Amino acid sequence: MGRRSSQRRNAAMLDSDDTDSVSSSSTTRSDLMLSGLEDVQFDKETVLDQCVDALYEKRGSTREKALASIIEAFNSNIQHEFVEKKFATLLQQCLSSIKRGSSKEIALASHVIGLLALTAGPGDKAHEILEESVSPISDALKSRSDNSKISSLLECLSIITFVGGEEPQETEKSMQLMWQVINPKLGPNVATAKPSPAMIAAVVSSWSFLLTTMDGWTLNPKSWQGSISYFSTLLDKEDRSVRIAAGETLALVFEVGSLEKFSGESKGSSDSSTTDEANKSRELLYIQGLRAKVRNQVRTLSAEAGGKGSAKKDLNNQRNTFRDILEFLEDGYSPESSTKIGGEPFSTSTWAQLIQFNFLKHFLGGGFVKHMQENEFLHDVFGFTPKKKLPGAEQRVSGTEKRMYKSPNSAVNKARTQFLNKQRMLSQDKNVGFYTGGDEF
């Protein structure tokens, strides 16, 4: 079986000039996100400052709007200067939202924390984000009332561990927290409600994203015994997203190696009545059996016929994915994907790279192209070198954006007016010798 000429037919062309990229960014862009002129930059920072101030407000809807605006800002520009100034404040307020907020607020705050880590990049800040966030996220995961909230918490935990984890033990700890969501008996005081398909798919995707950073030999075998068998059972589930997530994770497990740590067979290897050679032989046979079982399941899913109500696009996606997995299991060929980002070619050639690419693309959404072009951490992750911008490229502002900025009803102008009014009030208060405090959003 030869390597297919195009193993990822449905790879998206993520070119900033493409219609899809333009539409995805335009749907999330607001007046707050205009760039180019110095006064516009000043106003953007002012609006971000006010958004942070709004996170202190008692009304949950106000905090939610502020978090949504922060997400837009971090997607539209790499906010290095803002992170340098307000990193600790923004982190603590987001953690406060996770502890006390609604499901929507928790989801938004989780996303902001992930963006904060990606913007800060590896180092002391990212490690502090991880250390400060693990406990609140772990507590929030125990209440599994809302799928979107849980998915956002899992994605956040994945991202902050991916960026801030400095030791394998830290990464494996986060993986264990995820595992407990779908295996509650493995953790103390965890809700025992049956996880939904969406929750299972989110856990598996987040878990495999972190596995891409691990050397198979550094994994603790006691933690992951039986995981291959578990993922194999997920291939038989009705939900297609669960099957695809489990299939890609199994491919990654086989790519990472050290299969005895995932197989569940090494528990009996300490029996003194058997020799080491016998144990190794038994483990090898067991792993070969698991591989054969998974291969048969994958072969079936790669040729599954469409049933009643089956979306053709989803079915084709499943077939293509499992054909790639089958080729990998049978011939050792990993899927090759090819795309363009801002006109620059980008490709992946391993399961680990493909899983990282898809996970970060999903997390960043409309901000993916911007971050791939300008976020140095992602350049290092993927070995990607974007085209250098021409001098003055950042100074170009479209006519539409200029009109939006000049409009007296634009958010930028409203924010600037609020800021100037606030400064005048503070000045007047100082003149009369008192200041009562309290920020307005």
Which residues, including other chains, have CB under 8 Å from residue 28's CB and lie 6 or more apart?
A: 72, 75, 76, 365, 366, 367
Give 88-141 pLDDT, tens digit per residue. Answer: 999 999 999 999 999 999 999 999 999 999 999 999 999 999 999 999 999 999
Return d(Cα 426, Cα 432) in angstroms, integer. 10
Evaluate whether 41 touches 409 at the Cβ level (below 8 Å): no
Give 227-247 pLDDT, tens digit per residue. Answer: 899 999 999 999 999 999 999
| Sequential DSSP letters for 329-341 | HHH-PPP-EEEEE
Q: What is the dihedral of CA 17, 19, 21, 27, to 10 degrees?
A: 130
Read off the tokens for 111. Answer: 């996303």
Return d(Cα 60, Cα 51) in angstroms, integer. 13
Return d(Cα 364, Cα 374) in angstroms, integer. 13
Beta bridge partners of residue 258, listed in sequence order: none
Which residues, including other chains, have CB under 8 Å from residue 46's CB and lie 6 or more apart?
A: 415, 416, 419
Give 381-425 pLDDT, tens digit per residue. Answer: 999 988 765 444 444 444 433 333 334 444 444 454 555 555 555
Mean pLDDT of 73-83: 93
Check pLDDT > 70 for residue 182.
yes
Q: What phi and psi values does residue 344 have, to the nearest 5 degrees?
A: -100, 130
Check pLDDT > 70 for residue 191.
no
Nearest CA among 264, 271, 269 for reference residue 287: 264
* First and final C-alpha spacing in the chain: 62
35 Rama sector, left if φ>0, alpha if ψ -120 to 50, beta otherwise: beta
Check pLDDT > 70 for residue 41.
no
Mean pLDDT of 215-238: 85
Residue whose structure tokens are 């929750």: 199
Check pLDDT > 70 for residue 27.
no
Nearest CA among 216, 218, 219, 229 for reference residue 257: 216
Chain CA centroid to CA 109, Å: 13
CA distances in angstroms from 371 to 295, 341, 399, listed in the order given: 37, 10, 24
Hey, what long-range contacts does 345-353 have (CB within 8 A, 24 or more apart)? 346/14, 346/372, 346/382, 346/384, 350/255, 351/248, 351/251, 351/252, 351/255, 352/212, 352/252, 352/255, 352/256, 353/212, 353/382
Return d(Cα 253, Cα 240) in angstroms, integer. 20
Average pLDDT, the chain: 78
Return d(Cα 354, Cα 263) in angstroms, integer. 24
